[in-house]
Chains A and B, each alone.
Chain A
Amino acid sequence: MGAPVNVRGLRIVVDKANGGGEQAIVDNLNFTIAPGEVLALIGESGSGKTTTALALMGYARHGCRIAGGSVTIGDTDVLALTEPQQRALRGRTVAYIAQSAAASFNPSRTIMDQVIEPALIHKLMPREQAEVKAVELFRELALPDPDHIGSRYPHQVSGGQLQRLMAAMALISDPDLVILDEPTTALDVTTQIEVLRAFRRVVRERRATAVYVSHDLAVVAQMADHILVLRDGTMRELGATEQIITAPVNDYTQCLLAAARPREREGGQCSAQAGESQPLLEVKNLSAGYGPVDKQGKPAILILEDINLKLYRGQAIGVIGESGSGKTTLARAIAGLIAPSKGQMLFNGKALPPTLAQRSKDELRKVQIVFQMADTALNPSHSIERILARPLQFYKGLTGAALQKRIAELLDLVKLPASAAQRLPGGLSGGQKQRVNLARALAAEPDLILCDEVTSALDTVVGAAVLDLIAELRRELGLSYLFISHDLHTVRSVCDEIVVMQHGRKLAQVARADYERGPHHPYYELLARSVPELRRGWLDEQVVVAA
């Protein structure tokens, strides 16, 4: 059913603002996809993979321009078409599945209305027929209650279901080419596996030609026949999936593979082993939540229930769970941002006051929090120097040369050039911003750093470098971490122990030595199984296990 796709000499440019000519963001790209095959575009953010995918529909984002080359789908030269002809092509010959289905659905219309919209716009079939076809697709995509799910609204289904519904929307017009742009990046691992399975089945059964855009090699290994590695808009390597993941030729591909492989990072001495009995942080029967508090002192919406946790000096504990499991709330409670409704926290054996206002400056200094999104965690109108200077002035009263010296040391510690000090956060890359974010926490010379999903917004390679840095800082400075993540690989690689959370409760605690030795709590096993592995056929094995 799919059509062959042929791309020759594709070049996409950005015109520079002040008449400084143009800059190529995709340059001289050549590839072909045989009918019914899946090609994966892989690379870090800014490598031009989404730009390339959009160009297959003849579309360039605002500010970009397709400057040369040709894109043929079947017999159609997409770039030679006029604007109305391209509009007729999109949604019919080429369909696009975006990263965030939640942002792509209109919240005020029913799902069925939106799923059959492409068929109606292109006048492919009458409404009744389209609805029958949609229900068929829902069934194929393994959606629950396929006959009635269409009458619901987008907010009434889960994120993973919405992503599959979007696939139904794309497939309703039987397109020759389907473009999947990071369709599972925003999902939890356990949801991701279901969505991947559903996607692969429809793609295989319909023999659709597909382009799968992702930064996750392990996911791509399950989906694609061929992989194209992109960097800075140029092709680094193109080959069969098997060859790329087992015998990569290009340096950059090898680098990507190395970053994707789970690897333990040594964290240095932990004082528990050294025989110290008093934990640095002890959380006892902690409960917390939001909303009005009832007579028993229980909030209306309870997020955390009865959490117990001991963290020794120099130790790193990972907290893992799906979204909504309460792991971020735990960090916020320890940081003093949300007052617990029950239980207490001991820091160095002394009770830690529940709210920020009650904590002394020194107590505040000793616990620092590092947020997930470096974009929103750094004030865009403060220079890096000012961001790092503030905790130094605030806690230590440093000024003048001593302050400058310490800022330089901090930048050096997180491996940023000294010249970064004068820049605004907007002038740094995502990984650099996350390093500044860490440096700011380090400036306070804390005992405990709460890391909330610090690598999940970063590319694999950049994320791996940040994890290396975190492990190194722990070795050198004897820091303790509470490391929150939804990614088991990440947590395993830097933590001594893993706490598994679900629905606000602590289910299990697994020590590093026991990671591979079972049996563990079934939910931990499920999480461990759901992390895609970097080899072909992994997804098929999971189907067998699930069956």
Chain B
Amino acid sequence: MSTLTPTAAEPAPRARRRLPSMSWPGLLGLAVLLAWMLAALVGPSLMGQDGSDMGTGDVFARISAQHWLGTDYLGRDMLARVIEGARYTVGVALIATLAASSTGTVLALLAASSAPWLDGTLSRAIDTLTSIPSKMLALIMVAAFGSSLPMLILTAAIIYVPGAYRIARSLAVNINAMDYVVVARTRGEGRLYIMLQEILPNIINPMLADLGLRFVYVVLLLASLSFLGLGVQPPAADWGSLVRENIGALPTGGAAIIAPALAIASLTIAVNLLIDNLPGRAAREGGVH
């Protein structure tokens, strides 16, 4: 009876029928996130200037009609650099974070709802992963397989799985002890149903909050990898490396360093705003009392 018995499809929850009503901070977050995604997808082809063109302008030039965000330490157009960087940051960081969080959550659900031996094996395996210094792991992986975007995504995802797993498991173990899970077990439900239908909806909110935090870490990890020369390879650059390579503009407060920093801030704040205001959360909290 441990396999999931095929049953009729779940009826679509009624709440889905009407448009999700979200508060304005959530909508703002969604708008900013969509804007950056759009920039990453179609931005470079719309740009008049090429981010790798050093041109004839000054280095660290101020904001002007020609260079909307000034120029960087080699005289390249900053706006073009930021928009090209969006592809790496939004793409690599977001995908890696999603992969890390979802893998961690699924493994945690499996561990929480399974026999103690499987839980123990999984947890110790994840502990082993935690004990490897993350930068060293990245170094080895890049050295072995070369630096490419899929490689970077995979590396960042592996590094951040243990944290997500730990949090999700501790939440899931508590939910697993609840009477409604016991009721589902006595009904004869399979493990997959208990994992996905009974436990997951009750841990999804804290896991989403964790995802927002983890996203910031991944952006920082990618930036530090780029600094070591292991991340996105020059002349391409993610936002983290743009901040790093234009650090010389800091004393003069040039746009070259402020622009990518603001870009990182806007993206992370937008992701967190969106997550905190997802519909369903408010409904559930409002349902109590």
Contacts and interface: CB of A to CB of B under 8 A. Distances in A.
Interface of A: 335-337, 356-357, 359-361, 364-365, 367-369, 371, 373, 376-383, 385-386, 389-391, 393-395, 397-399, 403, 422-427, 440, 444
B180 to A, nearest CB: 4
Contacts of B2: 357
Nearest to B189: A394
Contacts of B287: 380, 423-427
Contacts of A360: 1
Q: Which of A367, A379, A444 has the most CB of B within 10 A?
A: A379
A424 B285 CA distance: 10
A422 B17 CA distance: 13
Contacts of A423: 287
Interface string B1-43: 1100101111101100000000000000000000000000000
A82 B204 CA distance: 44
A361 B8 contact: no
B183 A383 contact: no
B1 A359 contact: yes
A208 to B, nearest CB: 34
Contacts of B201: 379, 381-382
B65 interface: no
Interface of B: 1-2, 5, 7-11, 13-14, 178-180, 182-189, 197-198, 201-202, 283-284, 286-289
Nearest to B181: A379
B187 A444 contact: yes
A386 B13 contact: yes
Contacts of A361: 1, 5, 188
A293 B14 CA distance: 49
A376 B201 CA distance: 15
A335 B186 contact: yes
Nearest to B285: A426
A399 B284 CA distance: 26
18 contacts: A336-B186, A356-B185, A360-B1, A361-B188, A364-B186, A364-B188, A365-B188, A368-B186, A369-B186, A373-B179, A376-B180, A381-B201, A381-B202, A381-B284, A382-B197, A385-B11, A386-B11, A424-B284
A377 B178 CA distance: 7
Given A377-B178, A385-B11, 14 more contacts: A336-B186, A337-B186, A361-B1, A361-B188, A364-B1, A365-B188, A371-B183, A382-B197, A385-B14, A390-B187, A394-B187, A395-B187, A422-B14, A426-B289
A365 B188 CA distance: 8
A425 B178 CA distance: 14
Nearest to A358: B1
Contacts of A393: 7-8
Contacts of A365: 188
A357 B3 CA distance: 10
Contact of B180 (A368, A377, A389): A377
Given A376-B179, A383-B14, A356 B8 contact: no
B1 A394 contact: no
Contacts of B182: 337, 369, 371
A356 B183 contact: no
A435 to B, nearest CB: 15
Contact of B8 (A336, A357, A368, A397): A397
B116 to A, nearest CB: 13
A337 B185 contact: yes
Nearest to B204: A381
Contacts of B179: 371, 373, 376-377
Contacts of A424: 283-284, 287
Nearest to A424: B287
A356 B5 contact: no
B113 to A, nearest CB: 13
A14 B2 CA distance: 48
Contacts of A385: 11, 14
Contacts of A381: 201-202, 284
Contacts of B284: 380-381, 424, 426
A459 B248 CA distance: 71
A377 B284 CA distance: 16
Question: Top 3 A-B pairs ranked by shortest CB distance?
Answer: A426-B287, A381-B201, A426-B288
A356 B182 CA distance: 11
Contacts of B288: 380, 426
A391 B185 CA distance: 12
Nearest to B283: A424
Contact of B5 (A369, A376, A394, A440): A394
A399 B11 CA distance: 9
A360 B286 CA distance: 40
A453 to B, nearest CB: 12
Contacts of A427: 287
Nearest to B2: A357
Contact of A383 (B1, B13, B197): B13
A365 B13 CA distance: 25
Residue among B1, B7, B183 with the most chain A CB within 10 A? B183
A386 B7 CA distance: 14
A313 to B, nearest CB: 21
Contacts of B178: 376-377, 379
Contacts of A364: 1, 186-188
Given A377-B180, A381-B201, A391-B187, A399 B8 contact: yes
A385 B10 CA distance: 11
Nearest to B199: A379
Contacts of B180: 376-379
A369 B11 CA distance: 25
Q: Which of A378, A390, A391 has the most CB of B within 10 A?
A: A390
A365 B187 CA distance: 7
Contact of A357 (B1, B10, B187, B283): B1
A373 B188 CA distance: 21
A367 B8 CA distance: 23
